[in-house]
């Protein structure tokens, strides 16, 4: 003989739906398989209270049971397997009653206890969690002159902003949101797949409401219900001196608008140095410059003029007998250091300058020099 459903839940036959629900909750938590691993008796009890609740929580099934008991099974229910032919999964019933679908996918249900309504039943009024807006990444190209001193750059960029027509609600003015028809306000949906090992259940974010539990009854015509549109804004970027290619700075809360009252995302600005036509940046914020110098100056010595990045021109003294390839360090004519005081130097490498064309007089002098050098060798 099957046990009486009211006796299983330990309630009176006059119990209200709230009392039925409360009794089921208490017993389901007590006999849940996660709390009683490898306990066949507890598993059987869990199925038993699930069966009793599935009947007594449904007014039509409850009325049928109150009149006929187990003697006249309902259509599609044979009375054998407690859930045979009824399409009821005791674990799924428990998850649904506990609001488990709102706490995340998979995992031990007891680790999720803080995330569902202990009084059971879906909480449709629960507001979606505020979410920070998506970040924006941009690349800012800088000349060597701009890097050397630092600069403030003003740029225009496109980003997501709140729709002015619907004020971010996604609904046409005068309309409101309604319960999501797909997930019934749970924010998640269950996908069931039958395998050779049994039923595999996967809980995922609702594709219709994207987990927000509600949808727009009449979506905004401007933003198509998104609550945001693409707008253009102008921002100022204070670039410090000494930045390098690949380095970046973050401008907080200036990116795409957040959702559900969340803060705006950030803007990450990556720097890229434009190759200079004359100077080359080397280690320690130094600048390198190859300086063509005539043989006469290298041999006899003299003064030469060197271009600088920011200071116009500077004078460099060459000693007599300086070899081509010799490097001179001119202090504080490089890039300002990004972190700390001071700046780099200008490294000047002297390179002998060979004229492409010679005058008759120049040729005569060089021929004489050639003869003298040959005499020295002998």
| Residue pair 330/314 in contact by the 8 Å Cβ criterion | yes
Domain with CATH 1.10.287.110 in the chain: 5-115
Domain with CATH 2.60.260.20 in the chain: 130-172+224-275, 280-377
Note the residue count of the chain.
378
pLDDT in the model for residue 235: 94
5-115: CATH topology is Helix Hairpins (1.10.287)
pLDDT in the model for residue 157: 93
Tens digits of pLDDT across the chain (378 residues): 678 999 999 999 999 998 999 899 889 888 888 788 888 888 889 889 999 999 999 888 888 888 888 776 665 454 444 444 444 566 666 655 554 443 334 444 433 433 333 333 333 444 567 889 999 999 999 999 999 999 999 999 999 999 999 888 888 888 888 888 998 888 888 887 766 555 677 888 888 888 878 888 888 999 988 889 999 999 999 999 999 999 999 999 999 999 878 899 999 999 999 999 999 999 889 999 999 999 999 999 999 999 999 989 999 999 999 999 999 999 999 999 998 789 999 999 999 998 888 888 988 888 888 888 788 776
What's 280-377's CATH class?
mainly beta
pLDDT in the model for residue 195: 65
Alpha helical stretches, state H, the chain = 5-9, 17-31, 40-56, 59-68, 90-98, 144-149, 295-300, 360-377
φ/ψ of 189, rounded to 5, equals -130, 155
Gap between the Cα atoms of 279 and 347, Å rounded: 10
Q: 272: closest CA among 135, 156, 149, 138? A: 138
Structure tokens at 276: 């200079």
Bridge-based pairing of strands 346-353 and 287-294 is parallel
Q: State which CATH number among 2.60.260.20, 3.40.50.150, 1.10.599.10, 3.30.110.40 fits the domain covering 130-172+224-275.
A: 2.60.260.20
Gap between the Cα atoms of 241 and 145, Å rounded: 10
CB-based contacts of 3, cutoff 8 Å, min separation 6:
48
pLDDT in the model for residue 372: 84
pLDDT in the model for residue 114: 35
The verdict on pTM exceeding 0.75 is: no
Q: Is 286 left (phi over 0), alpha (psi -120 to 50) or beta?
A: beta
Cα radius of gyration rounded to whole Å, the chain: 40
Residue 128 burial by CB count (10 A; 0-12/13-18/19+): exposed, middle or buried? middle
pLDDT in the model for residue 86: 45
């Amino acid at each position: 003989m099957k046990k009486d459903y009211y006796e299983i839940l330990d309630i009176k036959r006059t119990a209200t739906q709230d009392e039925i629900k409360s009794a089921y909750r208490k017993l389901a938590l007590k006999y849940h398989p996660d709390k009683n691993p490898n306990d066949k008796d507890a598993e059987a009890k869990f199925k038993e209270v699930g069966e009793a609740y599935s009947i007594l929580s449904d007014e039509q099934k409850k009325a049928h049971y109150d009149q006929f008991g187990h003697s006249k099974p309902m259509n599609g229910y044979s009375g054998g397997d407690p859930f045979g032919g009824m399409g009821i999964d005791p674990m799924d019933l428990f998850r649904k009653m506990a609001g488990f679908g709102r706490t995340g996918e998979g995992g031990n249900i007891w680790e999720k206890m803080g995330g569902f309504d202990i009084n059971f039943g879906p909480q449709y009024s629960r507001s979606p969690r505020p979410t920070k807006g998506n970040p924006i990444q941009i690349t800012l190209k800088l000349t060597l002159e701009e890097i050397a001193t630092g600069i403030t750059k003003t740029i225009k960029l496109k980003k997501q902003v709140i729709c002015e027509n619907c004020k971010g609600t996604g609904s046409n003015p005068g309309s409101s949101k309604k319960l999501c028809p797909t997930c019934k306000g749970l924010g998640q949906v269950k996908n069931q797949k039958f395998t050779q090992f049994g039923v595999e259940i996967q809980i995922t974010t609702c594709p219709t409401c994207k987990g927000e539990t509600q949808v727009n009854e009449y979506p905004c015509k401007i933003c198509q219900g998104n609550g945001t549109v693409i707008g253009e804004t102008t921002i100022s970027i204070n670039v410090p001196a000494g930045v390098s290619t690949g380095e970046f700075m973050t401008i907080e809360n200036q990116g795409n608008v957040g959702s559900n009252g969340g803060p705006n995302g950030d803007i990450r600005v990556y720097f890229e140095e434009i190759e200079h036509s004359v100077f080359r940046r080397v280690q320690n914020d130094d600048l390198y410059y190859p300086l063509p110098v005539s043989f006469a100056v290298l041999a006899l010595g003299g003064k030469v003029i060197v271009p600088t990045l920011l200071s116009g021109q500077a004078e460099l003294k060459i000693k007599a007998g300086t070899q081509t390839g010799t490097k001179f360090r001119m202090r504080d004519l490089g890039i300002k250091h990004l972190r700390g005081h001071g700046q780099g130097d200008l490294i000047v490498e002297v390179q002998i300058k060979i004229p492409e064309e010679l005058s008759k007089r120049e040729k005569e002098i060089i021929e004489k020099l050639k003869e003298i050098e040959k005499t020295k060798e002998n």
